[in-house]
Structure 1
Amino acid sequence: MENEIQQKLARYESFVNEGLRKDLKDTLDARDAIYDQISEYLKLAKDIEVIKDNGLNEMKTQVDLGSNFYVQAKIPDTKHIFVNVGFGFHAELTLDEALEFIKKKEVHLQKKAEVFTGKVSQIRAHIKLVLEAMAEIMKLDRTPRPRSLNV
């Protein structure tokens, strides 16, 4: 009987460690990736506001080519910019169109992040439930059992 209880506890522990905790990490990583996207769009909105506020018609900047390798770039006309609209596509937008797109994209990404936050809460609740069940099983296992009387 005790061996059977230990096996069940081991299965529950494995389920928590290999299943639920992995799902929790994956969900948190996905939510963090969305927050990173939101941050990038907000940075872009701030940069657009700087361009508009200062009336910049052209500008020099540094562009990341990848792996933190930067090159100087001259932007001869700041009236239009290319914005990543998702799935590897970029659209040429005016500054005002870009700001409007960013607002909508931020709302969309916030909703996606909220879904992941809900999933995180569910997974944490499942982990807590399983751990409490394990504690209850361990408590029951330690409870002295009445001995049968041989009459």
Structure 2
Amino acid sequence: MDDSIQQKIARYESFVNEGLRKDLQDALDARDAIYDQISEYLKLAKDIEVIKDNGLKEMKTQVDLGSNFYVQAKIPDTEYIYVNVGFGFHAQLTLDEALTFIPKKEAYLQKKAEKYTEKAAQIRAHIKIVLEAMAEIMKLNIEPPRRNLDL
């Protein structure tokens, strides 16, 4: 294989490994973070149902302060809760308002996750195309030149 072909293949490999695979990992990580948010909202909805079903007016719980460091907390009044509505804002909602908000937020996040899934599929397709192009270049370079034997 001549040097120019080897250089082209090396550039394609670099593009796949340093560009496309990193983009693919970023898209998958972003999608997984959204799935984690969806999971948190579903857990919140379940917790609200438990509060409502048991008629809890106050309760004790554990709160994660970060890095899996938990402290006990006493909630003196469960009539209102603060829900992360996005962009760093938290809204004070009644339990019923929160139960109305959560499915809407979940649907929004699900659409967002689907976009990242589509982006990941596109990146995978691009990777496949580049790898097939590399294989074709190597195949063309390895085959001996054909001679015209028409007499």
TM-score by length of 2: 0.94
Distance 1:114 1:35 in 2: 10
**CA displacement, residues 28-60 of structure 1 (integer Å, 9 cap, x when unaligned):** 000001000000000000000100111111111
- Using the TM superposition, give the Cα deviation of residue 2 of structure 1 relative to its aligned residue in structure 2, in angstroms: 1.5
Show the 5 A alignment for 1:38-117.
38-117=38-117
Distance 1:113 1:90 in 2: 22
Distance 2:78 2:101 in 1: 17
**CA displacement, residues 72-122 of structure 1 (integer Å, 9 cap, x when unaligned):** 111111111011111221111000100111110000000000100100000
- Any gaps of 5 or more consecutive residues in structure 1? none
Distance 1:103 1:146 in 2: 65
TM-score by length of 1: 0.94
- Using the TM superposition, give the Cα deviation of residue 70 of structure 1 relative to its aligned residue in structure 2, in angstroms: 1.5
Identity score, percent: 82
| AA matched with 1:53 | D
Q: Which residue of 2 aligns with 1:5?
A: 5
Q: Which residue of 2 aligns with 1:126?
A: 126
In the alignment of these two chains, the number of paired residues is 148
1:29 aligns with 2:29: yes
What secondary structure is seen at the aligned counterpart in 1 of 2:78?
Answer: coil
Distance 1:2 1:103 in 2: 60
Distance 1:47 1:64 in 2: 16
Structure 1 moving runs of 4+ over 2 Å: none
Of 105-114 and 72-81, more deviation after overlay is shown by 72-81
| AA matched with 2:45 | A
- Using the TM superposition, give the Cα deviation of residue 146 of structure 1 relative to its aligned residue in structure 2, in angstroms: 4.2
